[in-house]
Structure 1
């Protein structure tokens, strides 16, 4: 029997609360800013610090893994750890997170030094407290509480961790890292602890994230800027064609007008729509956060459905020709567009890229040359609501919070789908951060009550997974 007694878990957490916060504060003090080459040494110190703490937690294996770019240039280190269960039929679970953080300085408007954490008013303030050091570190106390409450000497699951050091810089070397170590990272489920909840009083589990494909389209007409009086109206204008492409991107119902774009896209079910509608969504407040003056999007869908579960296309930038003071009557020689496409489960990145290429080529007139560059892509991921591992997550979180757990999705994109694709495992999201925590902003913080709910959820989860899930019974 591996079910973890609730009272024993809570008692253990209370006893070790102060020491846990001291250790988390020590980690937050390390300015592991991956975007700053001058702080590469701090990123390494952060990785080594975490590996040491994982060994102290009890992980028999905790290693610093090196990364490198395609050119062979060194990247920033990741941390890998594993703790075998010893049970022949135990599921294997991989926890993903990151130890790098966004840049931060007091001059940005912080109330306190960003890398000198402050605990006050029930929260810890500091860069990385929520994104993502706090949400990684709660697993260390969670697994210890799980062991203490059950009397086990090893977790009820085969537990692995992969904590990368470049997420805040776009994870440039992550796919290669996972591919190189795929045999050691093999698992039955991935748990992403780099996410959040709807609100402090509304605990939620995220069930998926959209993917991303973006591109730059460069249009070329005359070999140089030419006089619009002598030649305008008689030769193709790259700036005009860029504007025509942007205008043609959507139809009158705000659907993406690229033929084949929606191929394979998983549609919302009635249950999906009911679960979204159950959330206490205040659209006016959402607009205030968005700094927007109105909603607009694909006809027939709510705002949450649009940002979580529908594919989209956006014009991120458009430029060309003369933009200085006064007039300059020319036909410009070039113009440019940046587009991004958010993708949902079932859409194939390469298919979307091909569809966009064909669409652009078909719409441009003779006399306009063009180039399209797709710099990278992130695949979408979605875990079915009835997947047993997801249900285990919901039960464990419900025990910790004492409330019904609702469901969200993530409109943005991250490396979760890379883990899903390479390792062939479903992705689950376990996060306790809330929107007010200020990810990437000044005065980042984490609410301590929620942080310890995360610890408690982690403590329950390993036993629940071992009891209720036999991997392979429901693989989609």
Structure 2
């Protein structure tokens, strides 16, 4: 093992190395971004495979001694492993994805989405922020780490898993992680498919909500029937679905399904304080939401509602005649699609059982119903005091030279599968900002922030190794 390097000296060495390799790093990233690895479109299946092969080659060039492209029943993933010289060092797995959203000039792009363009300090291309840029900064980060410390291998046993189907819902990811659990075993997972609050407010996400989704079909008469001859005398499935939706929340906007809140991890006073420290502009947030009013569970702020509280939402509802004019019928069927965002402590299986029981109680006699749930995503949460989280915070603080704040994310992702299968804490390291336009035309990444991601990664591995030794 190499002798530890003073933090101030290390910072200078890291920044010098990054600056000297900045141009080559951006050239390589642009080459990767030119590959239209759109997993949702079958016509691009070969491009997704080409993207995986490109990344595998670049990781070998970076120095990873073990690099493999893992086939799935869908698109391929890339795995890499670089063992530390210290056999007692912790093992860290970095997660990201190399597939991207569809993009075309006709969607509103100012330039070709798969022909990277640098304007000022911004790199525009599909995947620049989501997620190729944030995966790729780890390649320069680990090399800067080695250059600054004089090591020939990372301070941790470093693994990467870069999937190829995240933008298609990760349909085969869980199976892949379970099948390869022994190879993927880690003491901590770093997810670099996330972002920061803003360019001048560095943040480390501490959790993501889970997700359960269902579709409920209600059936009444065997066919549409005349509302004059039968209305008021037989149950109407469209009325039943409206009543079902109306009963979903109480007068305080709490989910009315019995048992729904069972076991949830409540916010601590400290977590509430940390949320409140963020420079949150509610009016701007409403404009971003294209809404004119706030609404949600009583007793909680907007950020608490979208980050730390479970929800039930109506995603779609329909039934009966939808064409022009009138058609006086009692429809034979109606439907509603619901989604439930889950927080730490909630078990998706128990939520599904609770919803099924509640729906059965709500549906009146004479209405038959069918309810179908999709695969659920579990929530994940990292305690603020976790040593690995504190390592991420210290590394980011050194790179940005300012305090780091602690938001969560209201959305859901496959990170929870890694946490559940591998039994390791999930930590988030991302540098993307809201203006980067994930999934939107003219997606970009701020180059200065991208390089701050490189710097953070360069500091992180040594800090994680040191804090691990102290804790064990």
Using structure 2 for the length normalisation, give the TM-score: 0.98
Q: Which residue of 2 aligns with 1:39?
A: 44
- Report the 3-state secondary structure (helix = DSSP H, G, I; strand = E; otherwise coil) of the residue aligned with 1:95: strand
Shift of residue 108, structure 1, vs aligned partner? 1.1
- Report the 3-state secondary structure (helix = DSSP H, G, I; strand = E; otherwise coil) of the residue aligned with 2:204: strand
Q: Is the 8 Å Cα contact of residues 188 and 471 (structure 1) preserved in structure 2?
A: no
User: Which aligned runs of 4 or more in structure 1 are off by greater than 3 angstroms?
Assistant: 1-4, 470-473
Q: Which residue of 1 aligns with 2:12?
A: 7
Q: Which residue of 2 aligns with 1:404?
A: 403
Instruction: Output the CA distance in 1 between the equivalents of 2:265 and 2:471.
Output: 23
- Report the 3-state secondary structure (helix = DSSP H, G, I; strand = E; otherwise coil) of the residue aligned with 2:207: strand
Q: Is the 8 Å Cα contact of residues 245 and 363 (structure 1) preserved in structure 2?
A: yes
Q: Which residue of 2 aligns with 1:121?
A: 120
Any stretches of 5+ residues in structure 1 without a counterpart? 69-74
Q: Which residue of 2 aligns with 1:86?
A: 85
Any stretches of 5+ residues in structure 2 without a counterpart? none
Instruction: Output the CA distance in 2 between the equivalents of 1:385 and 1:471.
Output: 18
Shift of residue 366, structure 1, vs aligned partner? 1.2
Partner of residue 28 from structure 2, selected from 23, 27, 31:
23
Instruction: Output the CA distance in 2 between the equivalents of 1:247 and 1:272.
Output: 32
Q: Which residue of 1 aligns with 2:445?
A: 446
Q: Which residue of 2 aligns with 1:189?
A: 188
Equivalence map 1:73-472=2 (5 Å): 75-470=74-469
Instruction: Output the CA distance in 1 between the equivalents of 2:384 and 2:361.
Output: 40
Question: More deviation in 117-126 or 204-213?
Answer: 117-126
Instruction: Output the CA distance in 2 between the equivalents of 1:436 and 1:272.
Output: 26
Instruction: Output the CA distance in 1 between the equivalents of 2:427 and 2:313.
Output: 28
Instruction: Output the CA distance in 2 between the equivalents of 1:408 and 1:453.
Output: 19
Instruction: Output the CA distance in 2 between the equivalents of 1:330 and 1:106.
Output: 45
Shift of residue 86, structure 1, vs aligned partner? 2.1
- Report the 3-state secondary structure (helix = DSSP H, G, I; strand = E; otherwise coil) of the residue aligned with 1:205: coil
Question: More deviation in 22-31 or 461-470?
Answer: 461-470
| Deviation per residue, 1:362-414 (Å, 9 max, x gap) | 11111110000001110000000000000000000000000000011010000
- Report the 3-state secondary structure (helix = DSSP H, G, I; strand = E; otherwise coil) of the residue aligned with 1:97: strand
Instruction: Output the CA distance in 2 between the equivalents of 1:470 and 1:136.
Output: 27
Matched, 1:53 2:52: no
Shift of residue 88, structure 1, vs aligned partner? 2.0
- Report the 3-state secondary structure (helix = DSSP H, G, I; strand = E; otherwise coil) of the residue aligned with 1:96: strand
| Deviation per residue, 1:195-226 (Å, 9 max, x gap) | 00000000000000000001000000111111
Q: Is the 8 Å Cα contact of residues 2 and 464 (structure 1) preserved in structure 2?
A: no
Instruction: Output the CA distance in 2 between the equivalents of 1:203 and 1:49.
Output: 31
Instruction: Output the CA distance in 2 between the equivalents of 1:466 and 1:431.
Output: 20
Instruction: Output the CA distance in 2 between the equivalents of 1:216 and 1:108.
Output: 30
Q: Is the 8 Å Cα contact of residues 179 and 422 (structure 1) preserved in structure 2?
A: yes
Instruction: Output the CA distance in 2 between the equivalents of 1:470 and 1:216.
Output: 49
Instruction: Output the CA distance in 2 between the equivalents of 1:86 and 1:399.
Output: 25
Q: Is the 8 Å Cα contact of residues 2 and 467 (structure 1) preserved in structure 2?
A: no
Instruction: Output the CA distance in 1 between the equivalents of 2:471 and 2:355.
Output: 37
